[in-house]
Structure 1
């Protein structure tokens, strides 16, 4: 075990290279040289937290642990989660003005419509979807709408299920929505209603792990925004294939404004709606 007298661990260039190759294989997330300071800082925190003497001792323990608890703690430390309610709002407009109606046209009343938000981060996106549907899609009560939300980081999933948000996080919400779905706390934070928390099913998923994604099937709409920018080309293609397999024919994918499925995979067709451009899994038979 490390003692207070020991010096702060040092991450060498070779250590950094070894670690980022390992982390990439496990998660699909690629750290380039510009992220060196961030990676070193978080690695040193985990080395010290586990009582390891140096990177080598920590890395050996990480690779051969049986339960995977430290790997999950490391993933939690290395993933960046910054978001807010109604981010890139034009896609939520597209959801209620175009995509939901098209999906519903292929279902009978009462049938299930499934929406998957990945990454969940701290919950702002799936809860934004829920609020938009409740407030802006007139046919919400005619269908069984299921909202699923996933992340690789277990800490942010716990935070999402608590549903406690800063004033900055809720700044874009219209005041009537804030009053209807949130309760202000004594410390100035906002607690989301339990009805909304119960409306979203949260789960831990690594988009690069086939065993995690194969349980997601018959999805109608996927929101996967600002995640693929952290992947390399191979990991992006694998993620695109996982989403393709998860979607029903005719299902939609929404990516972040700086991401393009057309540069990743030819599996999807581009759909240009009045509010947004999204990507669609072709209908069976090419219809």
Structure 2
């Protein structure tokens, strides 16, 4: 069995990954791709990486497994503290009259982001039970979405979270994990969606807030611009787009303006 990824095989996967996920891989990523795909080749009993490529071509439903293999799902609760401080003032001030919120966590990974959003809203809105709140959480990977929907986390995943919130929104399971409360789960709908190739026309109504954090780092400039354009189209006037603190929107877009580092507001109608 040849487990050395040849230049030809790397080119095949590089083009497929870009075409399907918008992820641009440089030559420096060849070793990473080889390492990530080796177990998959071995588990299928294939002779080389080209055979794996043909397997994925013949079984397009397994493209999500390819996405799992070459991306890293790193997330945590209450990530990007400055954004939550901004939202703590912005949301009550902007939406207290209508008491209606539509939020999209567009790369939710294992669920920490959407559950943080739900927890956060319960904490900052004393009358949250009277609000019409819907949170959509999407990701490429079906496996990671299953974990998110289950909502079971290790003690390590909750490090840094105030004890008050742990006691209020989590319960200990017999196997030593922490299960998210039913109250928060009921606020969230989980779905699979590809930000690069997905059909944005599926979203019939705009969102008041879209989280798309630490996703753009995987894309080249044209793909970034395409994704941002689609996201901005789906934001309501005065709504927000939140990206990662290490990311920025470099192309001028007259529809949005920066209101805080990594936070952009859509101009009013």
Q: Same fold (TM over 0.5)?
A: yes
Q: Secondary structure at the match of 1:169?
A: helix
Q: Secondary structure at the match of 1:283?
A: coil
Residues 100 and 204 of structure 1, relative CA distance in 2, 3 Å threshold: farther
Is the aligned partner of 1:54 residue 2:42?
no
Is the aligned partner of 1:85 residue 2:72?
no
Aligned to 1:209: 197
Please list the CA deviations of residues 14-37 of structure 1 after superposition, one character each: whole Å capped at 9, or x if unmatched: 211221111111011122233322
Aligned to 1:108: 98
CA contact 1:8–1:44 (8 Å) conserved in 2: no
Unaligned runs of 5+ in 2: none
Q: How many residues align?
A: 268
1:76-155, aligned counterparts within 5 Å?
A: 76-102=68-94, 104=95, 108-109=98-99, 112-155=100-143
Is the aligned partner of 1:266 residue 2:253?
yes
Aligned to 1:21: 15
Q: Secondary structure at the match of 2:17?
A: helix
Residues 267 and 34 of structure 1, relative CA distance in 2, 3 Å threshold: farther
Please list the CA deviations of residues 43-75 of structure 1 after superposition, one character each: whole Å capped at 9, or x if unmatched: 22222233322222221232233xx22212222
The whole-number CA distance in structure 1 between the counterparts of 2:156 and 2:178 is 10
Residues 199 and 210 of structure 1, relative CA distance in 2, 3 Å threshold: same
Is the aligned partner of 1:282 residue 2:255?
no
The whole-number CA distance in structure 1 between the counterparts of 2:198 and 2:34 is 29
1:225-236, aligned counterparts within 5 Å?
A: 225-236=213-224
The whole-number CA distance in structure 1 between the counterparts of 2:252 and 2:138 is 22
Residues 159 and 265 of structure 1, relative CA distance in 2, 3 Å threshold: farther
Shift of 1:134: 0.2
Unaligned runs of 5+ in 1: 1-6
Shift of 1:139: 4.8
Shift of 1:156: 0.9
Aligned-CA RMSD value:
1.9
Shift of 1:8: 4.4
What's the TM-score, normalizing by structure 1? 0.86
Shift of 1:181: 0.6
